[in-house]
Amino acid sequence: MSSSPCPDKTFSFLLHDVARLLRRRFEDKARLLKLTRSQWQVLAQLTRHEGIHQGALADLLEIKAITLVRLLDRMEKAGLVQRRADPTDRRVRKLYLTAKAHPLLAEMRMMGTAAREEALKGINKSDRDTLLETLITMKTNLLSDGRETKPRSHRLETTRQVRHSRSGQERQKKYG
């Protein structure tokens, strides 16, 4: 009779646990900046996707739009983010970082680096590179299985574009 492996030694459990501990270490450091995890996730995503609309950011963060709206309300009041009207669609609000957010981002990067260095202590450069390449390969494998597709916001944007072009074509035919 074979015994099942100890959960601490199964790959999935260990990967999840390391990610959780790394996230917790960063959160402990980020608390010094008086930021919640949700707030630093918004700031981090906006550094990569500044000008994104709220719905797409909610998709990236994997949270409900109403949850993000409340979070953005607090962050806008704190002077960290700015909402601007989209010039092509008055219903859409685009998100931008403010000057006040940039020093926080620099500190967050330093804290992130410190947390990663702590996690990788004792692991040589070659093994770090191999680990990174392995994780990238795994992510690629999981993204290419067909189930993980474009974010919902991209699908909605495409749907809107099709709807607008159809309605424009229909108006053109009708009123010519």
Residue 85 has pLDDT above 60, yes or no: yes
- Residue 98 · residue 81 · CB < 8 Å: yes
pLDDT at position 7 is 58
> Can you read off the two tokens belonging to residue 5?
């492996």
Residue 165 has pLDDT above 50, yes or no: no
Domain with CATH 1.10.10.10 in the chain: 1-121
Average pLDDT of every residue of the chain: 83
Span 119-138, average pLDDT:
96
pLDDT at position 171 is 43
Span 1-20, average pLDDT:
77
Number of Cβ atoms within 10 Å of the Cβ of 87:
8
- What would the CATH number be for the domain defined by 1-121? 1.10.10.10
Distance (Å) of CA 133 to CA 21, 97, 138, 165, 166 = 21, 31, 9, 42, 44
pLDDT at position 145 is 65
Residue 87 has pLDDT above 50, yes or no: yes
Residue 166 has pLDDT above 50, yes or no: no
pLDDT digits (tens, 9 = 90+) for 56-79: 999 999 999 999 999 999 999 999
Q: What is the C-alpha separation between 63 and 151, in angstroms, rounded?
A: 12
Span 138-149, average pLDDT:
77
Share of the chain above pLDDT 90, in %: 57
What SS3 state is found at 54?
Answer: helix
pLDDT at position 90 is 86
pLDDT digits (tens, 9 = 90+) for 93-109: 999 999 999 999 999 99
pLDDT digits (tens, 9 = 90+) for 11-54: 899 999 999 999 899 888 888 888 888 898 999 999 999 999 99
